[in-house]
Amino acid sequence: MNIPIIPILAEAAGTTGASSFQPFIMMGLMVVMFYFLLIRPQQKQRKELQQRIDSMQTGDRVITSAGIHGLVHNIKEKTVVVKIADNTMVEFDKAAMAIVVKKDA
């Protein structure tokens, strides 16, 4: 009826040492997945939109973040004058432009 306790304790200690790092590895993999699936694509979209806003010219079609469609009439340093109807011009911040479509396209 003697049960050898030492081999059981050694075996248990060996498995707990390896499994203590497993949650950290899984969390690290999740962070990497979130970066490549969510953060990186959003950064690319933001950079592309900023490039389109910087290269905006008179006559381009735009849609603002409020959903207003119009044509670029005049571009200032930080604002854009958009023609939304005949004889109707509205001035928006450049940051309010959600979609810019070149007049060539």
User: How confident is the model at residue 68, as a pLDDT?
Assistant: 95
Sequence-distant (6+) residues with CB within 8 A of 105 are: none
Residues 101, 89: Cα–Cα separation, whole Å: 18
Flag the least confident range among 11-15, 63-67, 71-75. Answer: 11-15
Question: Residue 20 belongs to what domain range?
Answer: 1-54
The number of domains in the chain is 2
Sequence-distant (6+) residues with CB within 8 A of 96 are: 64, 65, 66
Q: What pTM does this model have?
A: 0.64
Residues 99, 71 share a domain: yes
Residues 48, 8 share a domain: yes
Residues 105, 62 share a domain: yes
User: How confident is the model at residue 4, as a pLDDT?
Assistant: 59
Among 13, 35, 54, where does a domain finish? 54
Residues 62, 47 share a domain: no
pLDDT, mean over the chain: 86
pLDDT digits (tens, 9 = 90+) for 10-21: 555 555 555 788
pLDDT digits (tens, 9 = 90+) for 80-101: 999 999 999 999 999 999 999 9
Residues 71, 34 share a domain: no
Which residue blocks in the chain are alpha helix, DSSP H?
Answer: 5-19, 22-34, 40-54
pLDDT digits (tens, 9 = 90+) for 38-63: 999 999 999 999 999 999 999 999 99
